[in-house]
Chain A
C-alpha cells in the first residue's frame, strides 16, 4: 500500500506544453542522414526559408483534441444523416431540378476533396518545419473526412435519382469533369510551396467562401438538410484551412524578399484557375437552385471584390498586388453563369444530368439581378430556344468543342468588352498550336508550356480513339462515336441526360411526391395532385 500511496499520477500537461511537445518535441536534427536527403522537394522551386521556427501556428490544436473534436462532429453529422434517410429527406427538397446540382457536386467536387487529401499528405511528409507538417497532416485528414461525409450523405439521393452512382469512375473519364480534375492534378504535381499557395491561400482563403456561404445557404433554402449538415460539419475545418492559408503567405513573405515574386506568380495563376473552376458554381447558383438566395454577380462582389479587396490591401505592405487577372473576373461576372448554362443546354445529350430552359419567373429574376446583361444578351437566346422547343425543333449542338489547354473548359467565354465575340487565344510552342480560353490561361501556358503540352484533353482523346470501351469497333458500319464515348464515360444516353421534362427523374419525382418536378412550370404528369397548377384543381377552383 505504501508504494502505491507514494505514486503520484503523472502531471497532466496543459495545452501549451502538450502542443509544444507535439510540434517541436517531435522534430529532431538527423544524425546519420543529411537533412536535404530527407526533405528532398523543398528547394527546387526556389523558395528561401531561413528559420522554420518562425512559423506561427495559427491554431494550436493537439492531436488528442483534434480526434475529440472531429469525433464529436462525426457523431452529430451521422445522426442527422440517419434521420434524413429514415424520413426520406431526399423528397423534401424544392423540386427535382435541385437534385441536378447535387449530381454536379458529387461527380465534380467530392473527388477534389480526396485529391486535396493526397496533396496535404505529401506536404505533411515534405515540409522540414514540424508546425506546418502537423497542420498539413490534420488538413489531409479533414479532406478525407469531407470526401467521405459527402459520399455518405449524397448516397441517399443516388438510391432514387439518376447520374450519381458512378462518381469515381466518371470523374476520371467524363469530358467536362476534366475541368476540376485537371485543376487539382496541376496543383498536386506542383512543388510543395506552389501547392500550399494554390490550395491553402488562393483557393481556400480567397475563393472558398463562395462555395460555403451562398451555396450552402442555397442548399438550406431548398430544403436539403443533408447537404447543409455536411457543409456545417466541414465549416470549422474550413476556418482552420483558411487560417493556414493566410499564415503560409505571411510566413513565406516574411522569410525572404526573394519569395515575393514567386508567391505573386502563384497567386496570379491559382486565383485565375480557381476562378475558372468556380464558374461552375455560378451556373449552379443562378440556374440549378429552384429557390435562389443570391446571384453569382452579388456573391462575387461580396466575397471577392469586397473581402478580397481588403485582403490584398493588407498584403500590399509585403509588395503583393491583387491577382493580375482580377479585372477580367469582374468584367465577366454578369455573363459567365448565362454563357455556361447555354452551352450545357445546347449540349444536353452529352452531359450527365438533365437540362431545362429558365422559366418566365426565373428570367424575370435574372433581368432584375443582371440589368446590364441579361435582357440584352441572354433572354433573346432563351426565347428563341423556347420557340424552337414549342415548334418541335429543339436546338441541339452535336459537335465537340475546342478546349482550353489549361483550364480545359470549352473556349466559350467572350471578350471582356464585347459579349458577342469569343475570347480565343493561341500560342505556338515547338511548332505546335495550343488554344486558350482567355489571357489568364494563356499567361499560365506561356509560363510553363513544358507541363501543359501533356494535358489530357478529352475531345482530342475521343478523336484519337482512346475513349471507347473494349470490344468497340470504330470501323463497324453503325459505329456512332458520340454514343460510344458516352458509354465509356459511364453516361446512359437518354436516361442520365437530355431534357429534364420527361426524364426519369422528373417523372419519378411526381409519382413519388405528387409535387411538380419543376415548381415554375406546374405539373408535367397526372401524378401531381396537390398543386393549383394542375388542370383539375384550377377547374374546381373556378367552379
Chain B
C-alpha cells in the first residue's frame, strides 16, 4: 500500500545513491562465525577494483587482528551475497564479479570458526 502523506505522491529523495560517493561504491563485508567482528564492515571501494585486491589490500586492514586470519586458505573460502553463493574471479573487477553498490558479501572459512573454534570470538 502506498504511503499516506499530506503531500500527494510523497517520496523521499534517495540519500545514498552511488553517484554521491565520489566514484566509489559501498560494499559491506562480513566474516561469518567470527562474531568478534560483530557487524558487516562498511567500506567505500572503486567498482573497478579487482576482487583479488579486495582480498590482498582491504581485508587485512579490517580483519587482520584475528588469529584465524593468517591461516585462511583463500582457495577454500566460500563466498556469498544475498543472491546466493558465488566463486569470485580474482582478476576481474568487483562489478564483473556481480558486486554492486551496497552489496553485502559474506565469506566463510571452512575449518576456521573463531578463536578456539568458538564462533563468538
Residues of A near any B CB (own CB < 8 A): 40-41, 44-46, 191, 339, 342-343, 346, 377-378, 380-381, 384-385, 393, 395-397, 399-403, 410-412, 414, 419-422, 424, 426, 430, 432-435, 447-448, 450-457, 459-460, 463-465
Q: Mark B26-46, 1 if CB is under 8 A from A, else 0.
A: 101010110111111111100
Complex contact B22–A465 (CB within 8 A): yes
What separation, in Å, do the CA atoms of A402 and B30 have in the docked complex? Answer: 9
Determine which of B2, B35, B41, B104 lies in contact with A400 in the assembled complex, contact meaning CB atoms within 8 Å: B41
Contacts of A464 in B (CB 8 A): 16, 20-22
Most buried by A among B12, B100, B118: B12
Known A435-B28, A463-B21, A464-B20; judge A424-B15 contact (CB<8 A): no
Complex contact A401–B39 (CB within 8 A): yes
Determine which of A421, A422, A448, A451 lies in contact with B40 in the assembled complex, contact meaning CB atoms within 8 Å: A422
Q: Mark B62-101, 1 if CB is under 8 A from A, else 0.
A: 1001000000000000000010000000000000000011
- Count chain B residues whose beta carbon lies closer than 8 angstroms to a beta carbon of A: 49
Determine which of B5, B11, B15, B41 lies in contact with A402 in the assembled complex, contact meaning CB atoms within 8 Å: B41
Complex contact A459–B42 (CB within 8 A): yes
Determine which of B16, B30, B120 lies in contact with A460 in the assembled complex, contact meaning CB atoms within 8 Å: B16
What separation, in Å, do the CA atoms of A444 and B51 have in the docked complex? Answer: 34
What separation, in Å, do the CA atoms of A464 and B21 have in the docked complex? Answer: 5
Contacts of B41 in A (CB 8 A): 399-402
Contacts of A384 in B (CB 8 A): 36, 115, 121
Complex contact B12–A343 (CB within 8 A): no
Closest chain A CB from B104 CB (angstroms)? 6
Determine which of B13, B26, B33 lies in contact with A420 in the assembled complex, contact meaning CB atoms within 8 Å: B33
Known A45-B4, A457-B15; judge A433-B36 contact (CB<8 A): no
Closest chain B CB from A176 CB (angstroms)? 12
Complex contact A402–B28 (CB within 8 A): yes
Complex contact B62–A399 (CB within 8 A): yes
How many A-B residue contacts, CB cutoff 8 Å? Answer: 139
Residue B17 interfacial (CB < 8 Å): yes
Known: A45-B4, A435-B40. 19 other contacts (CB 8 A): A44-B5, A44-B6, A346-B36, A381-B121, A384-B36, A399-B62, A401-B42, A402-B40, A420-B120, A424-B30, A424-B40, A424-B82, A450-B12, A451-B12, A453-B14, A459-B42, A460-B16, A460-B42, A464-B16
Closest chain A CB from B41 CB (angstroms)? 4
Contacts of B115 in A (CB 8 A): 380, 384
Complex contact A454–B35 (CB within 8 A): no
Complex contact A422–B42 (CB within 8 A): no
Contacts of A40 in B (CB 8 A): 6
Complex contact A422–B24 (CB within 8 A): no
Most buried by B among A41, A399, A454, A465: A399
Complex contact B100–A402 (CB within 8 A): no
Residues of B near any A CB (own CB < 8 A): 1-6, 10-17, 20-22, 24, 26, 28, 30, 32-33, 35-44, 61-62, 65, 82, 100-104, 106, 115-116, 118-121
Contacts of A401 in B (CB 8 A): 39-42
What separation, in Å, do the CA atoms of A183 and B77 have in the docked complex? Answer: 39
Minimal Cβ-Cβ distance residue in A for B10? A450
Most buried by A among B22, B40, B115: B40
Closest chain B CB from A335 CB (angstroms)? 10
Known A41-B6, A191-B4, A395-B65; judge A450-B39 contact (CB<8 A): no
Minimal Cβ-Cβ distance residue in A for B65? A395
Complex contact A402–B4 (CB within 8 A): no
Complex contact B42–A456 (CB within 8 A): no
Q: Provide a sorted-by-A list of 8 A–B residue pairs whose CB atoms are within 8 angstroms.
A: A380-B120, A400-B41, A422-B30, A430-B14, A432-B17, A432-B102, A457-B15, A460-B26
Complex contact B3–A460 (CB within 8 A): no
What separation, in Å, do the CA atoms of A148 and B21 have in the docked complex? Answer: 40
Known A395-B65, A433-B100, A450-B11; judge A381-B120 contact (CB<8 A): yes
- Across the A-B interface, the 8 shortest Cβ-Cβ residue pairs: A454-B12, A420-B119, A402-B40, A401-B39, A399-B41, A402-B28, A433-B102, A450-B3
Complex contact B104–A424 (CB within 8 A): yes
Closest chain A CB from B85 CB (angstroms)? 15
Minimal Cβ-Cβ distance residue in A for B7? A44
Contacts of A455 in B (CB 8 A): 15
Contacts of A343 in B (CB 8 A): 38-39
Complex contact B14–A342 (CB within 8 A): no
